[in-house]
Structure 1
Amino acid sequence: MQQALAYEKRGDFSAAEKIWSELVTDNPRNSDAWAHLGLIRALEGNYPEAVIAYREGLQLHSHLPGLEVDLGLALFKQQKLEEAVQPLQAAVAESPNDIKPKLLLAMSYYGLGKYAEAVPYLTAAVNSSPENLQLRMTLAQSCLWAEQYLCTLGQFQEIVRLSPESAQADMLAGEALDGLNKTEEAIKQFREAEKASPQEPDVHFGLGYLLWKEHNFDEAGEEFKLELKDNPNHAQALTYLADIAIKQNDDSSARSYLQRAFLQPKVIRLSYLDMGILDAAAGANEQAKANFLRAIEMDPAQKDAHWRLAHLYLSVGQRKEAQAEFAKMNELEQKDRDTVARQMAPKTQ
């Protein structure tokens, strides 16, 4: 063991791994040897084999100091975030004043899209490094996507202190304000972001969406077109331009935008709803039905697709089916219109 430790200290990981491997072969109940073997494998970048060694060590000695966080890190490095959570939770409980397991646990939750769970651990990490701008941005985003809007606005103040011209911070603040039903203030915040960085990804889309919510369709359309200049394949900008075209009775332009939107990897619910509207207007009833059903499948709680499908059924004499859709509508509570934060959140789940 002394020889293996000496090799470790010198950075001769290959020689150290050979000795640790021999030690666990000769004495498979030596938890320290398993822990060191895992560490050497991790240092060599062999994370799958490191995990095996760490787990062997934990089976023998469940409270071996530092082993849970090492296992969590090895799993995190492999992007096995769900698996990483349990050992990292154990590591936090084992060393509540150690920031490393808290940060790893926070980023595991963040990567899994479990933003509310990430917030307390990110808060601890930010408190330990208050000048770390990237950490504050990550915390602000997590608060936003967990719908903890006041937390986002609090972080916005600190981010602006560290980086006064941060367009990203302005956008986060705008999203939070919209979540608090302060859409006019949100629009002003997005205009500040647009002024600071006109090429910032999603800045034009975010502003356009807020204007669309306020029924300012002409100005919203201009913002969506600006987004498409920077990202011609922006599925949401294409879809909302189509929606505006439908509202302005320009079905030809709407169909053109939607055809482009359907070529993108992530097609949003509104694309199916609006294509269904166009198909129904063109008499393509089966295609319209398929699109309305797909929109319902993506979010059964929205009334609009049920309403459109019910009227489609009525138009072809299927009264029983129409009544069923109207009944479903009556069972649904009025759903609040989406926030810009939900529109712009990463689709991780």
Structure 2
Amino acid sequence: MIKNLIIFYFTAAGETLARRFLTLKLGGNVTLFSGKSAEIKNCLKKNWNNDTAFLFIGALGIAVRLIAPFIKDKFSDPAVVVADETGKYFISVLSGHFGGANEICQLLAQKLGGEAVITTATDVQGKVGLDVLARKYVLRYADREVFKRVNAALARGEEVKFFARSLPSDFPYPYLAEIEEEFSGIKVLISPYLIALKPNEYQLYPPAVWVGIGCRRGVEFTLLEKAVLEALQEGGVSLKGVAGIASIDLKKDETALLELAAKYGLKTKFFTREELLEVINKKNLQQSSKVLTKVGVGNVCEAAAIKAAGMGNLILPKKIFPKVSVALAEALRWWE
């Protein structure tokens, strides 16, 4: 949960508490820091990203004044927690949900036998915020308004219904596979597909779809990108619902393919001929003699998509574009 934690302290008592964290297993790197106000601000500026969390040991007001120049919004700010010098109280100050400050606060308090102070509305009402779910399950979104509307409804105790084909067993809310049209309350649709949302409907996108790609050596980036985007449109899949791109291992150094993954923040998976042939045989996929002659296996895009999706469902069979072939497969257990 904690990748990097920087602990600021200001007194000898604060240092004593800070050093206790060095002996605990927090699951990440822990750095202690003490210095003048300007030095602390320089440290904050350098490390102000979501891979680093901050713990201030001292007065809450000191922490607030030091972090104030760097605060942007709840979606990009890092986790900030404040503890008193005795370790009795741990206060989640900033980015409780998206930055994970609430979880970090609870973890630190548990490790030292202290009390976590959480003030976010959904948490004090005993509800799990939608932004917490989005962070935990890597659910993407198109509009930040979804979190404001849904969390407000949860905090007010209103009924919110979730709809999805499949979700992890530890998902904290019940869900239905089919949308209930007659339900007039807030609906949260968790799907990788393009959906025309109605009033009171909000969508989160799971990274469930894998794009299988076959292409000529040295294919131009513009051709590859155009082919993939057109295939997604034809398959009715949102780019936000794409987990990554997959191909044969002969393409692991294909420049355009790697550039496409980098541009859209997608994972990549590459498979051997033997792995793809196993999928072809299990799924009875058609093979191209031309492709077989060139790469040693007669179906790359469909087999790679299915394999990457954990032997999931082929939702768009092979589509041929100039110098590129594309197929789409959906992983039903996308969280694994």
Which TM-score tier does this pair reach, normalised by the shorter chain? 0.3 to 0.5
TM-score by length of 1: 0.35
Structure with the higher fraction of residues in helix conformation: 1
Bigger-Rg structure (1/2): 1
Structure with the higher fraction of residues in strand conformation: 2
Higher RCO, Cα 8 Å, sep 6+: 2
